[in-house]
Amino acid sequence: MGFEAIERGSVTTPRGFAASGVTAGLKRSGAPDMALIHSPSPAIVAGAFTANVVCAAPVQYDRDILAGSKTVHAVLVNSGNANACTGQTGLEDAATCATAAAKLLNIAPEEVLVSSTGRIGVPLPMDTMLAGIEAAAAALSDDAGLDVADAIMTTDTRPKSIAIAVELGGKTVHIGGTAKGAGMIAPKLRMQPPQATMLAYVTTDVAITKQALDAALGSSLDSSFNRITVDGDTSTNDTLLVLANGAAGNDEIDESRQDFAAFAGALEHVLGWLAKELVLDGEGVTRFVEVHVTGAKSDEDARQCAEAIANSALCKTAWFGADPNWGRILCAAGYSGIDFDPMKINLDYGDVPVMRNGADAGTPEADQVAAIDRREFRVGLDLGSGQGTFTVWTCDLTYEYVKINADYHT
């Protein structure tokens, strides 16, 4: 894929986007907690949202906007309060925030999307929100994309931001992105239409049809955010939005054009990078683990098996201690609900053989420990039952994760 990484790239790297990140006062720490992304030109939008039935007010609001609106101009994001499980009041507050931002930007309320992240079950403090929206609108700048990455964080330890450039149809097109999320991470995002939270925002100056943007995002989900899990919990607020304003001036891309595959590949790279960064910065994480399952009867069986392993508390605690207790991996595969022959299993830690044909491969335990006693490693499980394959990115389970989530409110 021929693209160039942009140093200090962000959501304002693509042409025609401005942004801000300010302190509204939602966080007791005084850290930045409100962000605004703005395109003066209309932008088409593709979105994917949480599969959780208990979804937050901003998720419901944005779903309705995307179902009925062709273009948007802005995304407003607050951290420190999730506006989830807040009933009708929460829905009204989300609309009020969008209307306030729209008035300041001289656009229609339905041209503003909203997101929230933070504590669940607490109504938004609307006086604080409205003052913060004014501050965010006043601070808009075309070089403030990194401020967005700061302002959307909750238990994250560092901001995540990226931008790349790619040549399409003789024009240089940019894609910029930012994301947050450290716990309650197992997104299971669903396209719309065809506590801690995963939020991700991508901007691009590409000219592309709505159908092609939806297709590019949809095809990228399983190789990015839908393959990550920190703790197996799917949040009430998970949101992924991609805005394209066409400012690059390329010939409009549709699915029939050769440039579509190149754009889709570039978007997949940005989303994959952001997804991996979320796992690497997960709450208390000390190890990044790639669980790669092959030889299943179908890709869906491989996914089901990989997710069972990746979300197993016993596997995750073993990885934390660099304990090569591979019996836990086989146990999780066995209860995952898929069909396979245990006598055909091969298992590897990286390049180190652990099991062959359903039995111990004879590798010394010290070699197994060395293979997983590192910041990043791979668990490769071949079920020997078919051609299905899937990869999940996950992590260990540490004392620090328990501490963070034991006193999240107090």
Give the total number of structural domains in the chain: 2
- Helix (H), strand (E) at residue 135: helix 126-138
* 291 touches 391 (CB < 8 A): yes
Domain-ending residue, one of 280, 311, 328: 280
Question: Each residue of 271-311: pLDDT tens digit?
Answer: 999 999 999 988 889 999 999 999 999 999 999 999 999 99
Domain-ending residue, one of 280, 298, 314: 280
* Positive/negative CA dihedral, 247, 109, 198, 80: positive
Structural domain boundaries enclosing 372: 288-406
What confidence category does residue 186 fall into, taking pLDDT thresholds of 50, 70 and 90? low
Q: Are residues 80 and 166 in the same domain?
A: yes
- Of residues 33 and 232, more confidence is placed in 33
Question: Each residue of 322-345: pLDDT tens digit?
Answer: 999 999 999 999 999 999 999 999
Q: Stretch 131-160: mean pLDDT, rounded? A: 96
Q: What is the mean pLDDT of the chain?
A: 93
Q: Are residues 253 and 343 in the same domain?
A: no
What confidence category does residue 320 fall into, taking pLDDT thresholds of 50, 70 and 90? very high
Q: What SS3 state is found at 273?
A: helix
Q: Are residues 7 and 54 in the same domain?
A: yes
pLDDT at 194 over 50: no
Sheet holding 346-349, edge to edge: 359-360, 352-356, 346-349, 376-382, 288-296, 388-395
Q: Stretch 162-186: mean pLDDT, rounded? A: 87
Q: Stretch 101-121: mean pLDDT, rounded? A: 96
pLDDT at 269 over 80: yes
Q: Are residues 235 and 121 in the same domain?
A: yes
User: Could you list the active site residues?
Assistant: 197
pLDDT at 184 over 60: no
- Helix (H), strand (E) at residue 173: strand 171-180
Q: Are residues 331 and 199 in the same domain?
A: no
Q: What is the DSSP letter of 225?
A: G
Residue 192 burial class via C-beta count within 10 angstroms: exposed 0-12, middle 13-18, buried 19 and up: buried
pLDDT at 409 over 60: no
What pLDDT does 192 receive?
Answer: 55
Share of the chain above pLDDT 70, in %: 95
Which of the residue ranges 165-174, 192-201, 383-392 would you say has the lowest mean pLDDT?
Answer: 192-201
Question: Each residue of 127-140: pLDDT tens digit?
Answer: 999 999 999 999 99
Q: Stretch 243-261: mean pLDDT, rounded? A: 96
Distances in whole angstroms, Cα of residue 387 to Cα of each of 294, 357, 384: 7, 17, 8
User: Which of these, 352, 317, 310, lies nearest to 333 by C-alpha position?
Assistant: 310
Residue 174 burial class via C-beta count within 10 angstroms: exposed 0-12, middle 13-18, buried 19 and up: buried
> How far apart, in whole angstroms, are the C-alpha atoms of residue 18 and residue 81?
24
DSSP letters, 75-116, are EEEEEEE---S-HHHHHHHHHHHHHHHHHHHTS-GGGEEEEE
Q: Are residues 38 and 151 in the same domain?
A: yes
Share of the chain above pLDDT 90, in %: 84
Q: Are residues 103 and 54 in the same domain?
A: yes
* 396 touches 289 (CB < 8 A): yes
Q: Are residues 236 and 311 in the same domain?
A: no
Q: Are residues 371 and 322 in the same domain?
A: yes
pLDDT at 100 over 80: yes
Query: Residue 376 belongs to a domain with what CATH number?
Result: 3.10.20.340
Question: Each residue of 57-81: pLDDT tens digit?
Answer: 999 999 999 998 779 999 999 999 9
pLDDT at 220 over 90: yes
What pLDDT does 195 receive?
Answer: 46
* 177 touches 278 (CB < 8 A): no
Q: Are residues 325 and 265 in the same domain?
A: no
Q: Are residues 338 and 253 in the same domain?
A: no
| Count of other CB atoms within 10 angstroms of residue 374 | 11
> How far apart, in whole angstroms, are the C-alpha atoms of residue 146 and residue 11?
8
Q: Stretch 51-58: mean pLDDT, rounded? A: 91
Q: Are residues 122 and 178 in the same domain?
A: yes
Which residues contact residue 155 at a Cβ distance below 8 angstroms, ignoring those fewer than 6 apart?
A: 182, 183, 196, 283, 404, 408
Domain-ending residue, one of 213, 246, 280: 280
What confidence category does residue 197 fall into, taking pLDDT thresholds of 50, 70 and 90? low
Query: Residue 117 belongs to a domain with what CATH number?
Result: 3.60.70.12
